[in-house]
């Protein structure tokens, strides 16, 4: 008789598990966002409710109501093997990065600096005559890069370029026997003013320039 009762109980339980309907679902306490905000005292940590305003589940913690979610932000996701991705001389943040957020923050300054600086080829200056002259470095840049002679299949015919005021301009080398380097100046649009004080053997001198994106 006991065996039959046990078998009957298991049979009934299997039927009840197989027949789920609206009446068999368990519901959470509900509240609007305003109502939830007013619940600040007498609440046990771990209490859960469903916010009908934003359609999210909240849990009550020591710091108040928090969204109950499995989502993780970058600071909560660990990398497989901690590594010092910005291990450079003088690195103020020396040590291994162990989360995605730490890796992003360590790499960002490096990639940002690398992407902002570019080095056009040296520019030849006619130094056959002494005197003060000007050269538009921005025009030199667009002449060298904007209209390529050839490109890969599917590439646009022109290379995107920066506007003149998007860049900082530098002359990093000029022969001081040819140029008066002490009086060289560059305006905000990339116009270089220079003075020739001596002639090289081939009457041409090279200057090295660097452009930095603002």
Q: What is the pLDDT of residues 88-105, one digit of tens each?
A: 545 555 678 888 888 888
Residue 12 lies in a domain: no
Please give the pLDDT value at position 71.
66
Nearest to 130 by CA among 198, 47, 41: 198
pLDDT band at 10 (very low <50, low <70, confident <90, very high): low
Whether residues 58 and 101 fall in one domain? no
- Domain of residue 35, residue span: 28-71
Specify the higher pLDDT residue, 15 or 171: 171
Q: Is residue 68 scored above 50 in pLDDT?
A: yes
Whether residues 165 and 184 fall in one domain? yes
Residue 9 lies in a domain: no
> Could you tell me if 94 and 155 are in contact, meaning their C-beta atoms sit under 8 angstroms apart?
no
Whether residues 108 and 130 fall in one domain? no
Residue 10 lies in a domain: no
- Tokens for 206? 């090279």
Residue 20 lies in a domain: no
Please give the pLDDT value at position 114.
65
Whole-Å CA distances, 180 to 106, 126, 132, 135, 186: 41, 14, 10, 15, 14
Q: Is residue 184 scored above 90 in pLDDT?
A: yes
Whether residues 88 and 174 fall in one domain? no
Whether residues 143 and 166 fall in one domain? yes
Whether residues 42 and 97 fall in one domain? no
Q: Is residue 7 scored above 60 in pLDDT?
A: no
User: How far is 102 from 75, CA to CA, in rounded Å?
Assistant: 7
Task: For residue 30, list its beta bridge partners.
Answer: 50
User: How far is 194 from 199, CA to CA, in rounded Å?
Assistant: 14
CATH of the domain at 59: 3.40.1620
Please give the pLDDT value at position 8.
52
Whole-Å CA distances, 136 to 94, 103, 104, 131: 42, 41, 38, 17
> Could you tell me if 120 and 138 are in contact, meaning their C-beta atoms sit under 8 angstroms apart?
no
Structural domains of the chain, count:
3
Residue 172 lies in a domain: yes
19-67 per-position pLDDT tens digit: 666 666 778 889 999 998 888 778 888 888 999 999 988 888 888 888 8
Residue 193 lies in a domain: yes
Whether residues 55 and 124 fall in one domain? no
Q: Is residue 199 scored above 90 in pLDDT?
A: yes
135-159 per-position pLDDT tens digit: 999 999 998 888 888 999 998 888 8
- Tokens for 133? 């002259």
Domain boundary among 38, 71, 104: 71
Whether residues 123 and 209 fall in one domain? yes
Over residues 101-123, the mean pLDDT reads 79
Residue 1 lies in a domain: no
Whether residues 127 and 168 fall in one domain? yes
Whether residues 89 and 136 fall in one domain? no
Residue 36 lies in a domain: yes
């Amino acid at each position: 008789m006991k065996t039959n009762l046990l078998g009957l109980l298991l049979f009934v339980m299997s039927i009840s598990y197989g027949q789920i309907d609206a009446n068999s679902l368990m519901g959470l306490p509900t509240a609007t966002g305003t109502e939830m905000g007013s619940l600040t005292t007498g609440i046990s940590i771990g209490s859960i409710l469903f916010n009908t305003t934003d359609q999210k589940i909240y849990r009550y913690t020591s710091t108040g109501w928090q969204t109950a979610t499995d989502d993780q932000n970058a600071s909560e996701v660990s990398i497989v093997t901690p590594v010092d991705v910005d291990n450079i001389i003088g690195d103020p943040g020396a040590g291994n990065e162990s989360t995605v957020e730490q890796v992003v923050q360590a790499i960002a300054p490096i990639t940002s600096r690398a992407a902002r600086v570019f080095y056009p080829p040296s520019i030849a200056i006619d130094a056959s005559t002494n005197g003060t002259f000007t050269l538009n470095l921005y025009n030199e840049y667009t002449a060298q890069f904007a209209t390529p002679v050839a490109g890969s299949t599917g590439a646009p015919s022109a290379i995107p370029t920066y506007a003149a005021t998007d860049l900082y301009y530098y002359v990093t080398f000029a022969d001081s026997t040819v140029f008066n380097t002490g009086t060289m100046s560059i305006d905000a649009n990339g116009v270089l003013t220079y003075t020739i004080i001596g002639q090289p053997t081939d009457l041409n001198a090279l200057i090295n320039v660097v452009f930095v994106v603002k």
